[in-house]
């Protein structure tokens, strides 16, 4: 684990997943992100919008409780929690919770459903970066576009076979 120094205080570079390798590539403004993609979103989207005044407030790694803890047969069951990559408030009053996704696993998909159920009034999005589709955008929109392109290719290949 490599420490980094900011304002003469030594900070240990750890993230929510206790990832401690290659921190230099994932660091911006002294913040170590869980992924390079998260760091780039912060650097390329959040910071410029904060400087322009479009974003009035943001938090990194905000924790949400998706299901409260409880007791069963005398055993304590911990709550189901979710840690959002970005919580953003905009100057027009909108609030977004953003998770940066490359390829979501089944746990992420389940937690997204739980989040939508528990916090229906919060705009929760998965954002990703796809250069050939123009950069940053909604993960689900990009996947829909990918499927359409794949279908078009399959149709064209079928025409060629005939």
Q: How far apart are CA 63 and CA 19, in angstroms?
A: 18
Q: Mean pLDDT across the stretch 94-98?
A: 96
**Quick one: pLDDT band at residue 79, thresholds 50, 70, 90?**
very high
Length of the chain: 162
Per-residue pLDDT of 51-72, as tens digits, reads: 999 999 999 999 999 999 999 9
Predicted TM-score (pTM) of this structure: 0.74
Which residue pairs, CB below 8 angstroms and at least 24 apart, start in 112-121? 114/66, 114/67, 114/80, 114/82, 115/64, 115/66, 115/82, 118/64, 118/65, 118/66, 118/67, 119/64
Residue with the bigger pLDDT between 23 and 77: it is 77
Residue with the bigger pLDDT between 149 and 20: it is 149
**Quick one: pLDDT band at residue 21, thresholds 50, 70, 90?**
low
Query: In whole numbers, what is the pLDDT of the chain averaged over residues?
Result: 84
């Amino acid at each position: 684990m490599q420490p980094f120094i900011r304002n003469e205080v030594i900070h240990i570079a750890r993230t929510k997943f206790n990832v401690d390798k290659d921190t230099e590539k994932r660091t911006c403004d002294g913040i170590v992100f869980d992924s390079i993609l998260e760091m780039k979103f912060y650097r390329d989207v959040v910071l410029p919008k904060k400087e322009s005044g479009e974003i009035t407030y943001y938090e990194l790694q905000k924790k949400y409780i998706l299901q409260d803890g409880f007791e069963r047969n005398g055993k304590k069951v911990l709550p189901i929690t979710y840690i959002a990559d970005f919580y953003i408030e905009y100057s027009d009053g909108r609030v977004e919770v953003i998770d940066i996704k490359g390829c979501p696993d089944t746990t992420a998909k389940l937690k997204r459903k739980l989040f939508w159920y528990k916090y229906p009034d919060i705009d929760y999005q998965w954002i990703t970066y796809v250069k050939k589709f123009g950069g940053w955008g909604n993960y689900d929109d990009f996947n829909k576009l990918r499927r359409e392109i794949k279908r078009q290719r399959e149709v064209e290949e079928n025409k060629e076979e005939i």
